[in-house]
């Protein structure tokens, strides 16, 4: 591994770009290799074994492309595969964790809304975090069925998107939640729509900035920070050839990037 190698980042699709963009903000001089497995998206309803298999294939490609650290920018893949990946591959892995801890610290009403995929909710990580930090809280947990697909289509700012989030978020608000945890990296695309239907006092927790800070800290302590003095390359791979990743990069992140089909 070399300091000037890249940060490998992957997700079942475009969701991990919400983490990628936070990483770029605080580590602008790092190269990145992003892999969107849109062909196999969504991961949320797949078995643990299947998600491990898909994740491992991606990790092997990212290592082959020169990743020095890998960010599993997908809550579902973290829940299913990070233990396996850490045990098998020598480089550091950073994973996603639903932001239950900050939500439990901030709640005034004692009620927290959690929106995540089935795979994340059923995973050990979520259950442990919940039991450790939110044992005294009332949790309203919803599986955001259909949201990942809408985000993949780039359809997160529309009447349809608003209706879709309303179905999950309204019961949380009606149940007196004052914190909403976004437990899937595709969900931050809906933040504007979510804000339309929640009181201003409700806090939305997107763990992406904290995961970016954690990535930086681990790179620093492992001596992996780039020595480059200027901006480096970003490479994007997608398992679909439909221009969706390119479209999302352009519309949401104002980046005109080439996306390579794998
Ligand atoms: N972005 C993934 C996550 O954070 C999406 C899950 C899916 O593909 O269902 O969980």
The residue annotated as part of the active site, out of 82, 147, 184, 259, is 184
Among 35, 117, 208, which is best to mutate for testing ligand 1, by the most ligand atoms less than 8 A from CB?
A: 117
Q: Is 75 in the pocket of ligand 1 (CB under 6 A)?
A: yes
Instruction: Catalytic residue, from 14, 41, 69, 74: name it.
Output: 74
Q: What is the predicted pLDDT for the residue at 1?
A: 67
Distance between Cα 146 and ligand 1 center (Å): 11
**Interatomic CA distance for residues 205 and 195, integer angstroms:** 12
- Element of type H or E holding 117: none
To the query of whether residue 184 is one of the catalytic residues in this protein, the response is: yes
pLDDT in tens, 10-69: 999 999 999 999 999 999 999 999 999 999 999 999 999 999 999 999 999 999 999 999
Please indicate whether residue 123, judged by its CB atom, sits closer than 6 Å to ligand 1.
Answer: no
Pocket probe for ligand 1: among 38, 75, 189, the residue whose CB has the most ligand atoms within 8 Å is 75
What the block records as the tokens of 206 is 């997107």
Q: Exposed (0-12), middle (13-18) or buried (19+): which is 166, by Cβ within 10 Å?
A: middle
Query: Rg of the Cα trace of the chain?
Result: 18
**Residue 42 Cβ contacting ligand 1 at under 6 Å:** yes
What pLDDT, on the 0 to 100 scale, is given for residue 230? 74
Ranges of the chain whose pLDDT falls below 70: 1
- DSSP-derived letter for residue 249 is H
* Atom of ligand 1 at shortest range from CA of 15: 1
Measured between its terminal Cα atoms, the distance across the chain in Å is 24
Do residues 77 and 55 lie in contact, with contact meaning Cβ atoms separated by under 8 Å?
yes
**Antiparallel, parallel or unpaired: β 179-183 and 259-261:** unpaired
Any atom of ligand 1 within 6 Å of the Cβ of 117: yes
Q: Which of 10, 16, 42, 46 to probe ligand 1 with, by most ligand atoms within 8 A of CB?
A: 42
Rounded Cα–Cα distance for residues 222 and 91 (Å): 10
> Is the peptide bond prior to 160 cis by the omega test (within 30 degrees of 0)?
no
Please say if 41 is a catalytic residue: no
pTM value? 0.97
- Angstrom distance (rounded) from CA 54 to CA 65: 17
Q: Which residues contact 48 (CB under 8 A, 6 or more apart)?
A: 80, 81, 119
What pLDDT score does 227 carry? 87
Q: Cα–Cα–Cα angle for 64, 10, 59, nearest 5°?
A: 35
Taking the C-alpha atoms of residue 212 and residue 209, their distance in angstroms, rounded to an integer, is 5
Give the chain's domains with CATH numbers.
Answer: 6-96+209-261 (3.40.50.1860), 100-206 (3.40.50.1860)
Q: Is 252 in the pocket of ligand 1 (CB under 6 A)?
A: no
User: Ligand 1 in contact with 44 (CB < 6 A)?
Assistant: yes
Alpha carbon distance 70, 105 (integer Å): 29
CA of 60 relative to ligand 1 center, distance in Å: 20
């Amino acid at each position: 591994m070399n300091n000037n190698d890249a940060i490998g980042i992957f997700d079942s699709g475009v969701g991990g770009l919400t983490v990628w963009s936070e990483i770029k903000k605080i580590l602008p001089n790092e190269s990145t290799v992003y892999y969107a497995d849109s062909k196999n998206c969504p991961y949320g309803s797949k078995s643990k074994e299947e998600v491990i298999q898909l994740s491992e294939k991606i990790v092997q490609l990212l290592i082959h492309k020169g990743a020095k650290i890998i960010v599993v920018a997908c809550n579902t893949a973290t829940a299913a595969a990070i233990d396996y990946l850490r045990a098998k591959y020598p480089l550091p892995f950073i994973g996603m964790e639903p932001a239950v801890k900050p939500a439990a610290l901030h709640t005034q009403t004692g009620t927290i809304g959690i929106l995540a995929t089935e795979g994340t909710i059923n995973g050990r990580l979520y259950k442990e975090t919940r039991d450790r930090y939110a044992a005294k809280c009332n949790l309203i947990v919803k599986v955001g069925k259909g949201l990942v697909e809408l985000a993949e289509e780039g359809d997160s700012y529309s009447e349809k998107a608003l209706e879709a989030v309303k179905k999950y978020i309204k019961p949380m608000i009606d149940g007196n939640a004052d914190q909403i945890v976004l437990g899937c990296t595709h969900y931050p695309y809906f933040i504007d729509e979510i804000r339309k239907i929640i009181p201003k006092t409700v806090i939305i927790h997107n763990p992406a900035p904290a995961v970016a800070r954690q990535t930086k800290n681990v790179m620093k302590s492992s001596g992996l920070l780039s020595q480059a003095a200027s901006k480096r390359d970003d490479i994007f791979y997608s398992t679909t050839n439909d221009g969706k990743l390119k479209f999302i990069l352009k519309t949401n992140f104002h980046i005109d990037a080439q996306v390579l089909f794998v």
